[in-house]
Amino acid sequence: MKAYLSVFRLRLTNVMQYRTAALAGVVTQFFWGFIIIMVFEAFYSSSVVSPPISLEQLITYVWLQQAFLAFVMLWFRDNELFELITTGNIAYELCRPSGIYGLWYAKLLAQRLASALLRCLPILGVALLLPEPYRLPLPANPLAFLMFILALLFGLFMMVSLSMLMYISVFVTLSPAGSMLMFAVVGEFLAGMVIPVPLMPEWLQSIVYVLPFRWTADFPFRVYSGHIGLEEAAVGIAIQLIWLTALVGIGRFAMAKALRNVVVNGG
Amino acid sequence: MIKVEGLAKAYHVAKRSSGVKEAMKALFKREYKVVEALKDISFTIEPGEIVGYIGPNGAGKSTTIKVMSGILVPDSGSCTVMGYTPWEDRVNYVKHIGVVFGQRSQLWWDVPVIDSFDLLRDIYKVPEQEYQSTLALLTETLELQEIIQMPVRQLSLGQRMRCEIAASLLHSPSVLFLDEPTIGLDAVSKIAVRRFIRTINEQKRVTVILTTHDMNDIEALANRIILIGKGKLLYDGSLSAIRDQFGTKKTMTVVYSHHANPFQVEGVHIESWSPERAVLSVDTSEVVISDVLIRLSQQVELLDVAIETLPIEDMIVQLYKEHQL
Amino acid sequence: MRLYSKYVGVLFKSQMQYRTSFWLLALGQFLVPFSVFAGLYFLFARFGQIKGWEFHEVALCFSIIHMSYAISECFARGFDSFSVLVGNGDFDRVLVRPRSTVLQVLGSKFEFSRVGKLAQSMIVLGWATSQLSTEWTILKVLVLVLMIVSGVFVFTGIFMLAATMCFWTVQGLEIANIFTDGGREMAQYPLNIYQKWVTRFFTFVIPFGCVNYLPLLYLLDKSTGNPLPYILAPLAGILFIAPCLLVWHTGVRHYRSTGS
């Protein structure tokens, strides 16, 4: 456990060094948030049918998405890990006494946490103070906020387990760019990153709901705004936990298998 | 050919700061430290010379090369190369020079060497006929026939360096700047590169300015060295003059039958000592070798004696020391 | 120009050394804007229209900006990834060659896998034009081509500005994404759906509006009054490159006097 913690701390301080980059990132994400909100505003203003999610809830969705981008982005590349796998330097990692799955998990988790910590506070802080209609509303109620925090954290854990699967797949393909890009594009779409899940057509929603992706982004954001009620949220968090167990299980299994191959190949 | 006068250049280096508060401050106002890379450098180089430009790391070698090749604009001073001021009229000037940065490649990594050469022909607008004859000559002298069709990434460092040098000569420049051309090469490749530099200097009368840390390069190539340190010109003259200056310093290795105690010999400095063997340094301007041998044989039973002049490396180290670098 | 095509040739040969990864990347590049387009489609499926614009009209808008972006990402990649060139000192090499810095930087890198993106936007463009009821005249086709060219110039100009920043600092370059990625994302809708200040900024400061929105009004017969300003709007996008070149040369001068 101590080894995981120190890996975690190392990464955290590492990312924290890039403060200017973070500042630039915050400005960029603000701009994105504004564009997306303005587009939706335009859609809503001329809409005849009443949409399944209110504009205010949608704005919440957008700002949270921008603030916690580092949590919910599938495409969060760690070149260090890639090189480790493709160059065969993974042999060094195998020499270490701690389990590789845990170590990498800690690495990826720390990286996401660090960049989110740097960015989310300024974004949330400013978004809460913006003039209407752009302001980020407060959570629906205190309990919803608590649920949101839980859902967001479990979502983050799920996201890291998902990206672990992507890294493990590199063992097989050895060519990260192409296959990862496709996986990320599809996954992010299904997580509600391109358009919010409630605005998708029914048939697509029914697909989205059986896949793990939406639990990382769509679900926590809607808990915050109260679009998903408390009771439903509690059930959702339980489902998140089930998914998490399953994903970690699959990941560990696949990793063990992939590593065995590495050893056999002598590479 | 090349005339440098009173060249000076200072860099402003941002101070690195630690801590969140400092970093926030740095966002708005940076503090700079002024580093004087060159202070009043002057020298003249005649056509056809090979000049070794040496000095310890950070002495200002690269800065001088960058100024002379038109990359950097100096703060003050003048520099004329073949009538051009390098940093003015860059495009016309650089047609006449070739530059090799030993640590970086100018070849395209994934394509055969010849493709890189063809592209350079177009960049420098070399007429086809001239290009073909130059290429033939270079391929011949550098023994590139085997490797010219291979992608650069498959070449060894030595092969690559030969190609790099060939690439910088395709447009038949009159001046060639070589920035550490032998860095990282094995002994055989080093010798090949040196021989080639000699050859093109003799055959095509190309003026060569060469920076290096390998004094064997200098010994093999340069009739003249320019030594700089901390941005100042320290020595400009022939290598033999240095040799004369330090030539009186000899290293003497003596082997003798077992002798339990260290000994003292007048006029000799003992570098290392063991019961069977000792290394001594002797300055022949202060003491005569035969005297040293007589004094030695009075103390120990000599079995073998070897006397060597100071290696050129050590001479340069001495020179650095004299100037407190 | 001949030299430029030589550069392309050599780099194409290089990339073809890694054929599998090239095709995978191209496929990925095809999918990225595809998912955005799918999002667009779903939104229109739900809302029907946006401020009076129909789906195929917005699709036309979308395809033009994405096509320009793909082309400039492919050809102006040297500026886009300029921080690498400055970082490893290869820019010095550029300076000791007797050609213009702009040409050499452009020639330093090409990203051919962007054909994936290009193919995607071409399909959308084809589909969108087939849905339009407007009659196509030679002038209109000309304007359409001009729009794409204009977009390429605008994006290249922004890449160039961002690259110039590298002469001073490589930190915080992400900010340039506002104008490249952000500009593309925004200009995939007609500009008049946004707040006034956004529309103004992206018409008069960075002329994305001149690339697709204004000439689009002419193409779709939505313009009122004299059509000439709408037809000529894309030229403003092309002119945008001039101040960018100026800034670039200032940057190069700075680099040569400080060597940083």
**Same domain membership, residue B263 and residue B135:** no
Residue A16 has pLDDT above 80, yes or no: no
* Residue B29 resides in a domain: no
**Same domain membership, residue B208 and residue B116:** yes
- Containing domain of residue C194, as a range? 2-258
The mean predicted confidence, pLDDT, of chain A is 82
Domain boundary among B243, B258, B284: B243
Confidence of residue A176 (pLDDT cuts 50, 70, 90): low
**Same domain membership, residue B254 and residue B207:** no
Q: Are strands B224-229 and B50-54 parallel, antiparallel or unpaired?
A: parallel
What Cα–Cα distance (Å) separates residue A174 from each residue in A100, A165, A258, B65, C17?
A: 18, 14, 12, 43, 16
- Containing domain of residue B301, as a range? 248-309
* Residue B33 resides in a domain: no
- Containing domain of residue A101, as a range? 2-265
User: With an 8 Å Cβ cutoff, is A174 touching chain C?
Assistant: no
Contacts of C90 in chain B (CB under 8 A): 104
**Same domain membership, residue B298 and residue B228:** no
**Same domain membership, residue B230 and residue B281:** no
Q: What pLDDT does A242 receive?
A: 94
- Give the span between the Cα atoms of A227 and A50, in whole angstroms: 15
Q: How many domains does chain C have?
A: 1
In degrees, to the nearest 5, what angle opens at C-alpha C225 toward C-alphas C224 and C229?
A: 95
- Give the span between the Cα atoms of B210 and B15, in whole angstroms: 32
Q: Return the percentage of chain C with pLDDT > 90, whole number.
A: 49
CATH (domain of B208):
3.40.50.300
Q: What pLDDT does A266 receive?
A: 44
**Same domain membership, residue B266 and residue B237:** no
Q: Give the list of residues 6+ apart from residue C65 with CB closer than 8 angstroms, or none.
A: C151, C184, C187, C188, C208, C211, C212
Phi, psi of B176 (to 5 degrees): -125, 125
Closest CA to C176 of B25, B26, A31: A31
Confidence of residue A50 (pLDDT cuts 50, 70, 90): confident
**Same domain membership, residue B171 and residue B50:** yes
* Residue B257 resides in a domain: yes
Residue C135, both tokens: 């009659």
Q: What pLDDT does C247 receive?
A: 96
Residue A34 has pLDDT above 70, yes or no: yes
Q: How many domains does chain B have?
A: 2
* Residue B28 resides in a domain: no
User: With an 8 Å Cβ cutoff, is C41 touching chain A?
Assistant: no
Residue A219, both tokens: 């679900």
Contact check, Cβ <8 Å, C100/B91: yes
* Residue B127 resides in a domain: yes
Contacts of A35 in chain C (CB under 8 A): 182, 185-186, 194, 198
**Same domain membership, residue B257 and residue B168:** no
How confident is the model over A218-229, as a mean pLDDT? 89
- Give the span between the Cα atoms of B309 and C60, in whole angstroms: 82
**Same domain membership, residue B253 and residue B198:** no
How confident is the model over C94-119, as a mean pLDDT? 90
Q: What pLDDT does B136 receive?
A: 93
Contact assessment for residue B56 and residue B229, using Cβ atoms and an 8 Å cutoff:
yes
**Same domain membership, residue B190 and residue B282:** no
**Same domain membership, residue B165 and residue B289:** no
* Residue B282 resides in a domain: yes
DSSP states of A81-106 as a string?
HHHHHHHSTHHHHHHSSS-HHHHHHH
User: Average pLDDT of each block of 10 consecutive residues along chain B (325 residues)?
Assistant: 91 63 54 83 93 87 91 92 91 92 85 92 93 92 88 88 91 92 88 89 91 88 89 88 80 85 80 86 84 85 85 79 75
* Residue B315 resides in a domain: no
Which of A24, A38, A194 is opposite residue C39, by nearest beta carbon? A194
Three-state SS at C237: helix
Q: What pLDDT does A171 receive?
A: 73
Contact check, Cβ <8 Å, A42/C32: no
User: With an 8 Å Cβ cutoff, is B114 touching chain C?
Assistant: no
Residue of higher predicted confidence among C178 and A6:
C178
Residue A133, both tokens: 């209609």
The amino acid present at A130, given as its one-letter code, is L
pLDDT digits (tens, 9 = 90+) for B43-70: 999 999 999 998 888 888 889 999 999 9
Maximum mean pLDDT: which of B11-15, C14-18, C93-97? C93-97
Contact assessment for residue C191 and residue A39, using Cβ atoms and an 8 Å cutoff:
no
Q: Return the percentage of chain C with pLDDT > 70, whole number.
A: 98
Q: What pLDDT does B86 receive?
A: 92
pLDDT digits (tens, 9 = 90+) for A150-171: 999 999 999 999 888 888 877 7
Q: Give the list of residues 6+ apart from residue A54 with CB closer than 8 angstroms, or none.
A: none
Which value does ipTM take for this structure? Answer: 0.87
Residue A202 has pLDDT above 70, yes or no: yes
Give the residue from B27, B100, B110 with the most C CB atoms within 10 Å of its CB, the best one to mutate: B110
* Residue B288 resides in a domain: yes
**Same domain membership, residue B261 and residue B234:** no
Q: What pLDDT does B171 receive?
A: 92
How confident is the model over C169-183, as a mean pLDDT? 80
Q: Give the list of residues 6+ apart from residue B282 with CB closer than 8 angstroms, or none.
A: B249, B250, B251, B252, B267, B268, B269, B289, B292, B307
- Give the span between the Cα atoms of A150 and A183, in whole angstroms: 26
Contact assessment for residue C60 and residue C216, using Cβ atoms and an 8 Å cutoff:
yes
Establish, for the pair of chains A and B, how many residue pairs have beta carbons separated by less than 8 Å: 5
Residue C172 has pLDDT above 70, yes or no: no
CATH (domain of B286):
3.30.70.250
Rg (CA), chain C: 19
How confident is the model over A106-122, as a mean pLDDT? 83
Q: What pLDDT does C257 receive?
A: 86
Q: Give the list of residues 6+ apart from residue C33 with CB closer than 8 angstroms, or none.
A: C66, C117, C120, C121
